[in-house]
Structure 1
Amino acid sequence: MSSLSEMGLRLSKNALFNVFIGRSTKLLGRPFKVITTLNEVAEKLADKKSTDNKFQQLFKTALTLVRMVKNYINGSYREVSTSTIVTGLAVLLYVLSPIDLIPDFIPVIGFLDDLSLISWFAGKFQDEIVRYKEWEKTSQGTATSASDAKATPDLIAMPALGDTSQPSVAELGHS
């Protein structure tokens, strides 16, 4: 059997994943929708009851990816290429989708393709993930990082009305 990252590489070249790349590209122009999607992914990942340590790292990587895309969308982190964000968002859309190569409703193996795609992303974009984690440690992202241990859906809370510390949706290119 091949490794998870090898399976993820095959998935990344699959026509079905290209559909998610297209959706991800279109979604980037709609920051509010991206945040809503990221909340759904975080909630899906938080529902995991497995305590198997070999998968915990992949879940943490997926949650790091959720935070990285969120910080890119809100403008606080831009030290990443747009193609990485598009690919990362496509991976998250794939994870969120119940319709993929191995349907999620199949116990245990239903998430194998999701985990393999996350593993592939983590390997391919490891340098960018490491840079993001370093940025997170040294910036205001540290507060978000502390909630990573809980993996709660409110990980990606929307700013309160009147909060000027983050750019508004219109400022991010959505009107």
Structure 2
Amino acid sequence: MDERKKRKAQRKFEDQIKKVKSEDVEKVLKKREEIEEKLKGQLRKFIYEIKLLFELLSDFKGGKYREVPWHTIAATIAALLYVLNPLDVIPDFISVVGQIDDAFVLGLCLTLIEKDLNKYKVWREERKEEKTS
């Protein structure tokens, strides 16, 4: 993806983050299967991260994990909705090329929330250890 399209995708993603509302958590969770199905193609390398993002959203919504800033939740929702949108910066119906911006936005999101996602992973592992003890 050229720099102009990267900047456009990044601006669109940042605008979407600002628009996310708390009810969007449920909206994204309901579209989990649809989003994961879309990722089976060219974006399958993100499957582990996407599953982790959905678990984070689910634990946040369920009140199990609240030690995460809203910006991280909003960035996660914005990225997942971006992937679902077939008419983003590069329309998805343009075969493989159409998913390049989706991969860019997912990568950008994962970079932005990396510290919070790592904290969540540690929290999950600690809970698993507590259950097996």
TM-score interval, normalised by the smaller of the two chains: 0.7 to 0.9
Greater share of residues in helix: 2
Q: How far did 1:31 drift?
A: 5.2
Identity of aligned residues (%): 30
State the partner residue of 1:11. Answer: 9
CA distance in 2, matches of 1:30, 1:118: 18
Bigger relative CO (Cα 8 Å, ≥ 6 apart): 1
* Contact 2:24 2:77 survives alignment (8 Å): no
Q: How far did 1:23 drift?
A: 4.8
* Contact 1:42 1:66 survives alignment (8 Å): no
Residues 121/17 of structure 1: CA separation in 2 closer, same or farther (3 Å cut): closer
User: Between Structure 1 and Structure 2, how many residues are aligned?
Assistant: 126
- DSSP 3-state at the match of 2:31: helix
Residues 137/35 of structure 1: CA separation in 2 closer, same or farther (3 Å cut): same
Poorly superposed stretches of 4+, deviation over 4 Å: none
Structure 1 gap segments, 5+ residues each: 141-175
Q: How far did 1:102 drift?
A: 0.7
State the partner residue of 2:29. Answer: 35
- DSSP 3-state at the match of 1:98: coil
Matched, 1:24 2:12: no
Aligned equivalent of 1:131, options 108, 119, 129: 119
State the partner residue of 2:131. Answer: none
CA distance in 2, matches of 1:98, 1:129: 26
Calculate the aligned-residue CA RMSD, in Å.
2.7
Deviations 1:65-88 (A, max 9, x none): 122112111211111101110111
What is the 5 A alignment of 1:1-175? 7=6, 11-12=9-10, 14=11, 16-18=12-14, 20-21=16-17, 23-25=19-21, 28-29=22-23, 32-45=26-39, 48-49=40-41, 56=45, 58-139=46-127
Structure 2 gap segments, 5+ residues each: 129-133
Q: TM-score, normalised by structure 2?
A: 0.77
Q: TM-score, normalised by structure 1?
A: 0.60
